[in-house]
């Protein structure tokens, strides 16, 4: 290349300096999905006046209009269009291509590039039709016929739904309204005459159609969120001026504008004191009014106390007084709100105990014990539900893996375990507060849960610890810790159901399961593509909140007298549980027996078949005097007699 050393690349290639600003656009701010929308916000912040769009060079034609019929004014409340004749479709000039390239839009030809330019400049989607391909020179905005065939610009043949709004001619569909154009009606190199469309389509209609056909376009993105019904004609004029400048031709018709029912601004009252009260800052009335006017919000009437405002229809997120207050705070600046030295508080009328406080206390407890909190999607796939007949299915699912509301917390946890295992992170201790969903005869049901999951090794590998895997007793210890922290006792035990558990336990309060925990079954592990053993606990959080509301905390002094420990080794039948032995012990000595614990279990060839050995410890204490050996021995003898009598136990030497 013939280039002088030291020449800047931009100078050699003739490229202008440019800057790209990327903004984080929240879903409610459809008005800001364009350059003019962002400019409005900047102008409001700096209290500058917006320049009007220069349309002085626009002149209507007086030729034959394309006939337009809107059969569904609810789906298309406003439809505008214009004819431009004698255009030459070609490559766009460099300035236009550069402006599109810098925002990530691939230039196509001068006509399509103008429509894309206007889309990002003014936020108004446009569509250019080859006028000579419009049968009967007639445009009809109508509902599609059920299963009507339509080939879109990407060459895909699609079956339309009767709920889809389309742009058709006298013979065939030409475009899915607000979503995607057709393969046989768009602008090509041979196009000389165009019909340019600028419309306002119903947001819900466009959103449902886009989801139904799995189509996401720049146009549907804006229509789904709500465009400006009052800019269609100005956008059309600016596009027509640009097309004439870069593609030649002339405007051959007057503007067609079908707008049977004007979309009014949102009208309501904004009270100055409410603004100050909600923001927590003493902002003068004139400052509040100045911000509201700068935001482009009109004022119908005003008094010393309030303003009657008219919010432009393009601000679909500002429909109530509180929305305007949020806008005032946004422009005023969060950082400008002073933190008062004195904070006024009111009486707390929330339920006791406060469920959020309890939730945070348990979260802190679990985190302190090495757990991490996860947050899973409540959407799952049908394969993971317990009962398809009660499953809550989605009408418009994002995918087949997210088409059902979850009925259990287990598979949400297993999905997280599987994801981590595939990334060589198998040693996990996680918990989640979440909801499950089902349908019953009375309607929809939501239940709150606390789910705890452990897998892999107990501790990370170190030179000084063993590679011990987690076990059933680890999950049981966590469950017991939580119940103890919540002061929940007097629970009954029964085996966990086998639908998702290989083995486990249920802690019952009456006929209701308070918490179910155990080893997850191989069937459930395989379904979620999880390797190794996983232990899972599921707390009925709604039931727990009901129980702890009735809890009464009692305090008493620490005993001045020492406790005494005695041990017994018992030979018992295999089917005898520790719970049975504990119940017999407390029934035998109600006053002085404080605790029973099993510290050793043995099965082996040194004891008869069908038997097992339990080593139990008993804590005895009298809060009024020191226990004497004679009294202790008498209690132990009574325990031995009752164990022998009720479970045929034998005392081992």
Q: Give pLDDT, residue 340.
A: 74
* CA distances (Å), origin 366, targets 70, 360, 414, 577: 62, 10, 19, 29
Cβ count within 10 A of residue 500: 23
* CA distances (Å), origin 147, targets 161, 180, 185, 466, 598: 6, 17, 20, 65, 71
Q: Give pLDDT, residue 442.
A: 77
Q: Backbone phi, then psi, for 257, in 5-degree steps?
A: -140, 100
Q: Give pLDDT, residue 26.
A: 86
CATH fold of 67-258: Phenylalanyl-tRNA Synthetase; Chain B, domain 3 (3.50.40)
CATH class of 355-549: alpha beta
In eight-state DSSP terms, residue 627 is P
- Strands 266-271 and 256-258: what pairing? unpaired
CATH of 266-336, one of 3.40.50.300, 3.40.710.10, 3.30.56.10, 3.40.190.10: 3.30.56.10
Q: Backbone phi, then psi, for 468, in 5-degree steps?
A: -80, 130
pLDDT tens digits, 396-429: 887 888 889 999 999 999 999 999 999 999 899 9
- Give Cβ neighbours of residue 321 (< 8 Å, ≥ 6 apart): 268, 269, 270, 271, 274
Q: Give pLDDT, residue 1.
A: 57
Calculate the CA 521 to chain-centre distance.
30
pLDDT tens digits, 643-652: 999 999 988 8
Q: Give pLDDT, residue 196.
A: 97
pLDDT tens digits, 166-177: 999 999 999 999
pLDDT tens digits, 15-53: 777 777 888 888 889 899 999 999 999 999 999 988 889
Q: Backbone phi, then psi, for 385, in 5-degree steps?
A: -85, 160
- The torsion angle over the Cα atoms of residues 382, 383, 384 and 390, rounded to 10 degrees, is 50
Residue spans of the domains in the chain: they are: 67-258, 266-336, 355-549, 564-651
Do residues 469 and 459 touch, judged by C-beta distance below 8 A?
no
Domains 266-336 and 564-651 fall in the same CATH topology: no
pLDDT tens digits, 494-518: 889 888 999 999 999 888 899 999 9
Mean pLDDT score of the chain:
91
| CA-based max dimension of the chain | 120
Superfamily of domain 564-651: Ferrodoxin-fold anticodon-binding domain (3.30.70.380)
% of the chain with per-residue pLDDT over 70: 98
When pLDDT is averaged across residues 247-274 and rounded to a whole number, the result is 95
Q: Backbone phi, then psi, for 277, in 5-degree steps?
A: -65, -45
% of the chain with per-residue pLDDT over 90: 71
When pLDDT is averaged across residues 548-576 and rounded to a whole number, the result is 86
Calculate the CA 316 to chain-centre distance.
21
Name the CA radius of gyration of the chain, rounded.
37
CA distance 259 to 72: 12
CA distance 518 to 536: 6
């Amino acid at each position: 290349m013939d280039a002088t050393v030291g020449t800047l690349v931009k100078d050699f290639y003739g490229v202008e300096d440019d800057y790209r600003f990327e903004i984080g656009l929240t879903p409610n701010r459809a008005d800001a999905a364009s350059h003019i929308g962002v400019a409005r916000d900047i102008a409001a912040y700096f209290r500058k006046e917006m320049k009007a769009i220069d349309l002085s060079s626009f002149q209507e034609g007086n030729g034959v209009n394309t006939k337009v019929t809107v059969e569904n004014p609810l789906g298309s409340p406003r439809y505008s269009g214009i004819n431009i004749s004698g255009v030459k479709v070609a490559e766009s000039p460099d300035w236009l291509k550069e402006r599109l390239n810098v925002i990530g839009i691939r230039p196509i030809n001068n006509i399509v590039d103008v429509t894309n330019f206007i889309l990002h400049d003014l936020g108004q989607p446009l569509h250019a039709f080859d006028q000579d391909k419009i049968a009967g020179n007639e445009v009809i905005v109508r509902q599609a016929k059920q299963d009507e065939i339509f080939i879109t610009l990407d060459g895909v043949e699609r079956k339309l739904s009767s709920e889809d709004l389309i742009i058709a001619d006298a013979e065939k569909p030409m475009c899915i309204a607000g979503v995607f154009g057709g393969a046989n009606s768009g602008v090509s190199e041979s196009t000389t005459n165009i019909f340019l469309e600028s419309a306002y389509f119903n947001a819900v209609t466009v959103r449902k159609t886009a989801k139904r056909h799995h189509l996401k376009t720049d146009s549907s993105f804006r229509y789904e969120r709500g465009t400006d019904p009052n800019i269609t004609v100005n956008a059309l004029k600016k596009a027509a001026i640009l097309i004439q400048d870069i593609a030649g031709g002339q405007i051959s018709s007057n503007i067609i504008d079908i707008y049977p029912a004007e979309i009014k601004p949102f009208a309501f009252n904004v009270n100055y004191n409410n603004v100050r009260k909600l923001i927590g800052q003493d902002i003068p009335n004139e400052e509040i009014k100045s911000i509201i006017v700068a935001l482009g919000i009109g004022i119908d009437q005003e008094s010393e106390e309030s303003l009657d405002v008219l919010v432009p229809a393009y601000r679909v997120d500002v429909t109530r007084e509180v929305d305007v207050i949020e806008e005032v705070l946004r422009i005023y600046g969060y950082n400008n709100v002073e933190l008062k030295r004195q904070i006024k508080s009111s009486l707390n009328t929330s339920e006791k105990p406060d469920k959020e406080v309890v939730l945070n206390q348990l979260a802190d407890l679990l985190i302190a014990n090495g757990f991490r909190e996860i947050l899973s999607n409540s959407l799952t796939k049908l394969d993971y539900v317990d009962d398809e007949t009660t499953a809550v299915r989605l009408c418009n699912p994002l995918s087949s893996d997210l088409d059902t509301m979850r009925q259990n917390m287990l598979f949400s946890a297993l999905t997280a375990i599987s994801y981590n295992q595939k990334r060589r992170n198998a040693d996990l201790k996680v918990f989640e507060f979440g909801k499950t969903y089902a349908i019953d005869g009375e309607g929809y049901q939501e239940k709150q849960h606390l789910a705890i999951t452990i897998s892999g090794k107990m501790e990370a590998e170190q030179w000084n610890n063993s590679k011990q895997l987690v076990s059933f007793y680890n999950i049981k210890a966590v469950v017991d810790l939580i119940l103890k922290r919540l002061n929940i006792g007097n629970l009954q035990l029964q085996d966990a159901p086998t639908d998702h558990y290989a083995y486990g336990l249920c802690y019952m309060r009456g006929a209701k399961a308070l918490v179910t925990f155990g080893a997850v079954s191989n069937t459930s592990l395989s379904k979620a593509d999880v390797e190794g053993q996983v232990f899972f606990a599921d707390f009925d959080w709604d039931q727990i909140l009901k129980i702890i509301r009735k809890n009464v905390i009692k305090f008493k002094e620490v005993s001045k007298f020492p406790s005494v420990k005695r041990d017994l080794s018992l030979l018992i039948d295999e089917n005898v549980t520790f719970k049975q032995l504990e119940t017999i012990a407390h029934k035998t000595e109600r006053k002085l027996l404080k605790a029973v614990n099993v510290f050793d279990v043995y099965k082996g060839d040194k004891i008869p078949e069908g038997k097992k050995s339990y080593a139990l410890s008993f804590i005895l204490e009298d809060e009024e005097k020191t226990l004497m050996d004679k009294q202790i021995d008498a209690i132990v003898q009574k325990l031995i007699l009752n164990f022998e009598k009720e479970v045929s136990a034998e005392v081992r030497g």
